[in-house]
Amino acid sequence: MSDSPPGIADLLGVLAYAELTAFLRLAEDATRHAPSLTDRAALGGLAAVEYAHFELLRDRIASLGVDPEEAMAPFVGPLDAWHARTTPGDWLEALVKAYVGTGIALDFYREAFYREAAAGMGEETRSLVDEVLVDEERSQFAVERVRAALEEDPKLAGRLALWSRRLVGEALSQGRYVAEARPALAELLAEAAGGEIGKLVTRLTEEHGERMAALGLTPGP
């Protein structure tokens, strides 16, 4: 671990596995639900970007002298559980999940790396995070398709809003589980949020509300 603060291997590990599994799940959703080859290719493109992020994170973990597989292992259960509980039933649910899911991950990057925690992190990790964040707009295509579908059939909004809340609810409940199991990671995140993990949760929830609005779904009460 050399000069990295405790919890950094955990942080990189959870993000690496999140990217790897997002890649594989998005590819699966693209195969199963895309209504056209163009759509399949678009969701596939998002998936391929996640794989590129995974490679960056894996290499960064290895460069810290940590085995990437070991760094990821504690997070396989919670992330697999999240995906199992949020398997999209159709194309629109897959799009909302792609946008909301990558959004949660990006908030997490930002919160974890750009606040206090970033201080002890080193230039290399910081530039890695910059690279990941650049790809944010790739999921914009999902926003456009969902908004177009809602314009055509406004009654879809209720179901998709519910779906979106379920995505974030399940993420928070898996996150709580992870925080209990990995105290060093929880401490690092709490520090990044100004000493309190509750603030991080509040901020993630607010950002989720903004994403729901972007999709044309009013945030829930």
- Residues of span 41-60 touching a second copy by CB under 8 A: 41, 44-45, 47-48, 51-52, 54-55, 58
Question: With binding defined as CB under 8 A, does residue 37 bind a second copy?
Answer: yes
- Binding a second copy (rule: CB under 8 A), the pick from 1, 6, 31, 213 is 31
SS3 category, 5: coil
Pick between residue 82 and residue 161 the one whose CB is nearest to a second copy. 82
Write the CA distances from 101 to 52, 65, 104, 167, integer angstroms.
17, 29, 5, 8
Give 71: exposed, middle or buried? Use CB within 10 Å, 0-12, 13-18, 19+. Answer: buried
CB atoms within 10 A of CB 202: 12
List the x/- string, 63-102, binding to a second copy by CB under 8 A. Answer: -----xx--xx--x--------------------------
CB closer to a second copy, 14 vs 217: 14
Angle between helices 197-215 and 183-192 (to 10 degrees): 70
Radius of gyration of the chain (CA): 17
φ, ψ at 122 (rounded to 5°):
90, 155
The size of the interface with a second copy (CB under 8 A), counted in residues, is 29
Look at residue 6 and give its three-state secondary structure: coil
Q: Where in 165-184 is the site for a second copy (CB under 8 A)? A: none
Applying CB under 8 A, the span of 23-31, 97-105, 114-122, 188-196 interacting with a second copy comes to 23-31
The amino acid at residue 200 is L
With tokens 């594989």, the residue in question is: 24
Asked if 30 is part of the footprint of a second copy (rule: CB under 8 A), the reply reads yes
Smallest gap from residue 41 Cβ to a second copy (A) = 6
Contacting positions for a second copy (CB under 8 A): 17, 20-21, 23-25, 27-28, 30-31, 36-38, 40-41, 44-45, 47-48, 51-52, 54-55, 58, 68-69, 72-73, 76
